[in-house]
Amino acid sequence: MTMDLRPIEIEPIQPLRRWWVPIVFAIAVLAIANTVLVAIGVSHTPRHEERLLEAKWALAGDTRRTFDWVVLGDSSATLGVAPETLSRELGGEAINLGTFGAMGLTGDVWMLDRYLAHHEPPRGVIVVHAAEVWAGHRDDAFFQYAAAIPISTPALFRRLIELRSRPSEMFITARYRDWFPLLTIKDHVRGGVDRSIDQPIGGGDSGGEANSVELKMPADGTWRMTADQARPESVIASSRIYMSDVVEPAKMDPRYLVALEELVLRSRRDGFEIYFSGGPLPRLVRESTTFDGKVRGVTTELTKLSDRETQVHFVLRDWVSFEPDVMENCNHVVGPAIDEYTTQLARAIRDSMDSR
Amino acid sequence: MLFNSIDFLVFLAVIAVIYPWMVGRVRLRNASLLAASYVFYGWWDARFLSLLVLSTIVDYSLARLLQRTENVPTRRLLLAASILINLGILAYFKYASFFVDSFAEVLRAVGMRADYATLSIILPLGISFYTFQTLSYTVDVYRRQLHATSSLVDFALYVSFFPQLVAGPIERAGELLPQLSSPTTLTRANFSIGVWLILFGYFKKVYVADNLGASIDPIFDDHRAFTLADVCLGVLGFSMQIYGDFSGYSDIARGVARLLGFHLMVNFRLPYFATSPSDFWQRWHISLSTWLRDYLYIPLGGNRGGKAATMRNLMLTMLLGGLWHGASMKFVAWGGFHGLLLVLQRRGIRFGWLGMLIATQIGWLIFRATSLTTAFEMISQTEWWWTSHSTRLLAKLILYAGPLVIIDVWMQRTGDLLAPLRLSIAWQATLYTLMLAAIVVLGFDGASEFIYFQF
């Protein structure tokens, strides 16, 4: 089979007088379709993370109950720390205001500020993050999710300026998405297309559409994200990726260092203890030779901070690891492992309290 | 600034508003476009503007000196200075870490200790592209093929012209500088072609390349979890991804330049219809392959020194062409592989369309795998069977790459890269609407970088 023809660009011999018609027509069709969608009340399709964020934001501002222990962090905290276990082990009431990895430590500051604005300071704040989040997982998706926080745009911008960050277009499209359903309906359309031909490939490490995480409201009214089934094969596969990603000791993101200082500042100002900890891990990751290199920067920073400030504690320094058959992905524990992880965390906190 | 970002669309809108007022005034137009180009580049990291300016001033000055000097040793010295400075900057920013790492590996291989601090050097965006552009200018002036321009602004704009600054096409001064020193006119043909190229470019990038990338990346991230059938589909997907990504960038660049009244060279001519290795390189990244031919292969002796010398020159050119893509052995191997194909062609091997397509896919496997070892591991898998996952992956390839294949077949059969512009206005409107809808509704979320930015 041979095709020797090498195409060239031949200028239109008679350029169309109405060259603009096709593109204007295309834009007009899409604009009309968008307007129709707005008119019939189709707004954006909320993502799972946004629903969680909105629920947690509301919870942090709910003044009906006060708490002794406030849990912050990413999905390893959201899924892995059970408030009832903390209450049992430490006494007092506990609330889990954890969100997900893309919110990072910056999200912790926002959530804590929200809580403190509506409540008396708690006895302790527990901040739990997965290793890669501590180690400087910086994701521009932060802006997209931050934009979903239900506060005014000027207030959001003020907070972003405080963080010396320039909002990306993800922020803008997320903030004003209700006006452009055609842009955001893609989640729905793409999801439908993908579902019709696809089961998710590979099994994502965290946060993807692939996992079996559900947003549920237990009887106590505290919204909680739950992973209800273990996926050991996916955990093993993503553990390998997790380890191969590490090539040198990672440092903490400068933006996260700012957020850490902000958290410490609040603990000093309002007189509560603050406990930093790593989330649960697969044993395969914990025992890999590269793991310590990955968290060296984190360990150094958190140790420095806890040595400097009496109210700051770095607990579970050796990390708690689990077999893949009780994990949903590299950062999420399921079933009895949630109680086990929380118990270990609570006991480390108690030890820290006792040693003072 | 990424072409597929809101920042760029706003930037382009501002230029569209003010540009018509300065089209006829060359100095004002060029000064404004230069300022816009520096804003475009500095948006990424303003610190590296200094490198761009340095490269501009060095080659402008050296070319001016070359123009005035008749003394041959002095001319050679000036040319050598340009080559040393340009390649020195490129070598430091792009290859220093690679050579330090490779040297340490050699030491370790012979049993010696190799303690060294790994260099952490940021690769300035587009450095490979604009360095080659400035270098070719000085060489052309040295060869007396070109008069050195007296206008620093024109030359600076030639080096930094924003549509093609960060990923080409690598324009020749002989083509672009005369356009920059003349008044432009905004014509219907330019608008018509410009709008089509931009739309087609975004379609290739946002709908085809980004969606394919999301589908095939897991295979390259963890190939052990997939069968050989999946790997083959992954490589096929990558071949369409990189084609959509890079030719999409070139189309957008050429389209934007057209709207401003300038012609940039065609960088891709339906490369997967190539029937031989030399045909492939006359269709793929044409601005680089012709650059390598004119400034490396021919100066090395080209095909003038007998069979052995020709083979050596081909291999050297392609190995260096591979290294141009990135500081990694896999790119050198990819270049070497294509060099070998060209040598085989010289020895009388006929490839044909299918043979060349398969050879190209093998090349892409080397190019995309995380390392050479991984590439070998991927094709030597013992689990080769077709799974339900393979079916789903094939469905995605058809969904995301199918429309581009159809358009390319149409262009190939008509022999016209602007075939869609010959359609009636109603059909054009339909095609534009479908493509815009695919970009908006099915395009991949977020502004992902173009693959060739890393080079």
Q: Give residue-wise pLDDT tens across range B146-178.
A: 999 999 999 999 999 999 988 879 999 999 999
Helix or strand holding residue A95 (H, E): strand A94-96
CB contact under 8 A, B425 and A17: no
Cβ A316 vs Cβ A322: under 8 Å: no
Q: What is the pLDDT of residue A47?
A: 64
Measuring CA to CA, which residue among A276, A253, A312, A235 is closest to residue A132? A253
* d(CA A145, nearest CA chain B) in Å: 13
Distance (Å) of CA A25 to CA A20, B10, B188, B421, B434: 8, 21, 17, 15, 11
DSSP state of B9: H
Residue A229 has pLDDT above 90, yes or no: no
Q: Report the pLDDT averaged over residues B54-83.
A: 93
Q: What is the pLDDT of residue A273?
A: 95
Residue A290 has pLDDT above 80, yes or no: no
pTM for this one? 0.75
DSSP for A124-156 reads: EEEEEE-HHHHTT---THHHHHHTTSSS-HHHH
Residue with tokens 């977020």: B446
3-class SS of residue B213: helix
CB contact under 8 A, A7 and B415: yes
Residue B27 has pLDDT above 80, yes or no: yes
Q: What is the pLDDT of residue A5?
A: 55
CB contact under 8 A, B441 and A197: no
Distance (Å) of CA B342 to CA B226, B312, B331: 32, 11, 17
The interface residues of chain A toward chain B in range 131-170, judged by CB-CB distance below 8 A, are 140-141, 168-170
Q: What is the pLDDT of residue A200?
A: 44
- Nearest CB to B447: which of A169, A185, A190? A169
Measuring CA to CA, which residue among A14, A278, A26, A264 is closest to residue A133? A278
Show the CA angle centred on residue A207, arms to residues A202 and A211, nearest 5°.
Answer: 55
Residue A199 has pLDDT above 50, yes or no: no
Measuring CA to CA, which residue among A341, A349, A129 is closest to residue A253? A129
Residue A172 has pLDDT above 70, yes or no: no
- Nearest CB to A30: which of B5, B436, B446? B436
B224 touches chain A (CB under 8 A): yes
A3 touches chain B (CB under 8 A): yes
Residue pLDDT, tens place only, A18-70: 888 999 999 999 999 988 888 886 665 556 777 788 888 888 988 888 899 99
A258 touches chain B (CB under 8 A): no
Q: Report the pLDDT averaged over residues B231-255.
A: 95
Q: What is the pLDDT of residue B102?
A: 67
* d(CA B161, nearest CA chain A) in Å: 22
- Nearest CB to A198: which of B193, B396, B412? B396
β-strand A69-73 against A124-129: which pairing, if any? Answer: parallel
A53 touches chain B (CB under 8 A): no
Cβ B339 vs Cβ B292: under 8 Å: no
Q: Catalytic residue positions of B?
A: 325
- Nearest CB to A22: which of B5, B219, B429? B429
Question: What residues of chain B lie within 8 A of the CB of A5, using their CB?
Answer: 273, 412, 415
Question: What residues of chain B lie within 8 A of the CB of A23, using their CB?
Answer: 195, 199, 432
User: Which is it for the CA torsion A247, A251, A252, A254, positive or negative?
Assistant: negative
Residue in chain A nearest B352 by alpha carbon? A2
Question: What residues of chain B lie within 8 A of the CB of A16, using their CB?
Answer: 188, 192, 421, 425
Helix or strand holding residue A72 (H, E): strand A69-73
Cβ B179 vs Cβ B263: under 8 Å: yes
Q: What is the pLDDT of residue A293?
A: 77
Question: What residues of chain B lie within 8 A of the CB of A210, using their CB?
Answer: none
Q: What is the pLDDT of residue A218?
A: 58
Residue B234 has pLDDT above 80, yes or no: yes
